[in-house]
Amino acid sequence: MVRAILLGLLASAVFAQSTAPVRTFEVASVKPHEGPMLRLGVSTAGLRLTADCSNVLMLVKFAYNLKNFQVTGAAPLLKDDNTRWDIVAKAAGDAAPTAAEFRQMLQSLLAERFQLQVHREMREMPVYRWRWAKTGRNFIKAIPMPTLPRSTAPKTAIWSSPCRRQP
């Protein structure tokens, strides 16, 4: 009975997903940047996406909504800070795309023009906490948070020392 309910929920979730067409850019211009760096970054307004003097790493971080520490093992194209690009692209249709749609359209543009391939994975990273020592502030490796049974686990847990020195 439980399996039948789960299969029914799974099937309804699959069929309930909308098959909205993926938005694309009607026209896009990708050119190497020439001249001084007057403006830097990616912006959107209405139907237009503009990237001024952006390297490929900046474009990838915008397209996939990433932070610096989330990009590792980058290809030489991403590590090249000297090659900058100017991109002006206009979305197809009359309605202005949302930020998520702009990101998705930029992902497909990067895959098309730069042959970008993305690999996502979860990694364990070291965590440090800031503490006061006799010699001043320093970082120490954080102690792993104890695992509690699900029923007794608090909704919010803070496992750190205060940031100010105790008298």
Q: Given a cut of 60, is residue 108 above it in pLDDT?
A: yes
What average pLDDT does this structure show over 3-9? 36
8 occurs within a structural domain: no
pLDDT score at 136: 67
How far is Cα 125 from Cα 131, in angstroms, rounded to an integer? 19
Which whole-number Å values give the CA distances from 125 to 14, 53, 82, 118, 149, in the listed order? 34, 32, 29, 20, 24
Most confident of 30-39, 68-77, 158-167: 30-39
Q: Please give the share of the chain, as a percent, with pLDDT higher than 70.
A: 64
How many CB atoms sit inside 10 A of residue 54's CB? 21
71 occurs within a structural domain: yes
pLDDT score at 127: 73
Which segments of the chain does DSSP mark as H helices, in order? Answer: 2-16, 56-64, 76-79, 99-114
Of 52, 68, 49, 5, whose CA–CA distance to 60 is shortest?
68
pLDDT band of residue 149 (cuts 50, 70, 90) is low
* pLDDT, tens only, 25-44: 999 999 999 988 888 889 99
62 occurs within a structural domain: yes
* pLDDT, tens only, 35-69: 888 888 899 999 999 999 998 889 999 999 998 88
106 occurs within a structural domain: yes
How far is Cα 153 from Cα 2, in angstroms, rounded to an integer? 27
13 occurs within a structural domain: no
> What is the pTM for the complete model shown?
0.63
164 occurs within a structural domain: no
158 occurs within a structural domain: no
- Domains held by the chain: number: 1
Q: Which residue has the higher pLDDT, 153 or 85?
A: 85
Q: Given a cut of 80, is residue 111 above it in pLDDT?
A: yes
Domain carrying residue 113 = 21-144
11 occurs within a structural domain: no
How far is Cα 85 from Cα 55, in angstroms, rounded to an integer? 6
